[in-house]
């Protein structure tokens, strides 16, 4: 029962390309097979919720320089048992940025990604089945860097391509450009 909301949103998501379509199917299969998919304790992997935050004009995105991974990424994190992935994305976006005025552009999924998280300490390598939502915020609002980040920055979309050249980030940048027409 607790997986139905996510399963419904996944079924309605239209992937941007074959790579995202493959990852969407991986997430659909994972959620169907794993009743504990929202739990961080599921060692092979778990659902995460990410916030692709854009400014009011859709010209910039908010990126975090992730402390553990040492890369610029979108904000987001573990579901920790919460089956409402949009709520997870909003919570993580607020916690990692200090922005209290985050609003979903739509409740629909914006993007999906499956990526391997390397082993660290006593935590084995595992997968994040990442469900991403498009959120909007005022780029003039003050930011608060959390302990999970080295830095936070509002970045013009063109600069974000150079700063974070990961295929999934580039895909979200293309989707953001498409929104603007």
| pLDDT per residue as tens digits for the range 155-176 | 999 999 999 989 999 999 999 9
Does position 180 have pLDDT exceeding 80, yes or no?
no
Give per-residue pLDDT as tens, 15-30.
Answer: 999 999 999 999 999 9
Cα 94 from Cα 76, distance rounded (Å): 9
Phi and psi angles of residue 164, each rounded to the nearest 5 degrees, phi first: -135, 75
Query: What percent of the chain has a predicted confidence (pLDDT) above 90?
Result: 87
Residue 1 binned pLDDT confidence (cut-offs 50, 70, 90): low
**Going from the N-terminus, what domains does the chain have, and what CATH number goes with each?**
4-180 (3.90.79.10)
Segment 46-69, tens digit of pLDDT: 999 999 999 999 999 999 998 887
Strand partners, 153: 63
Q: Is pTM, for the whole model, over 0.85?
A: yes
């Amino acid at each position: 029962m607790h997986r139905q909301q996510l399963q419904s949103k996944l079924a309605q998501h239209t992937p941007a390309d074959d790579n995202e379509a493959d990852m969407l199917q991986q997430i659909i299969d994972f959620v169907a097979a794993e009743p504990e998919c929202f739990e961080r304790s599921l060692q092979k992997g778990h659902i995460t919720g990410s916030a692709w935050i854009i400014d009011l004009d859709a010209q910039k995105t908010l990126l975090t320089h992730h402390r553990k991974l040492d890369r610029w990424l979108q904000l987001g994190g573990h579901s920790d048992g919460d089956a409402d992935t949009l709520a997870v994305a909003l919570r993580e976006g607020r916690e990692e940025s200090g922005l209290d005025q985050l609003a979903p552009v739509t409740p629909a999924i914006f993007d999906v990604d499956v990526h391997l998280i390397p082993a660290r300490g006593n935590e084995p390598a595992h997968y994040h089945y990442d469900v991403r939502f498009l959120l909007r915020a005022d780029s003039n609002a003050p930011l608060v860097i959390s302990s999970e980040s080295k830095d936070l920055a509002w970045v013009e979309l063109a600069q974000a391509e150079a700063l974070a050249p990961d295929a999934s980030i580039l895909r979200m940048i293309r989707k953001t450009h498409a929104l603007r027409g």
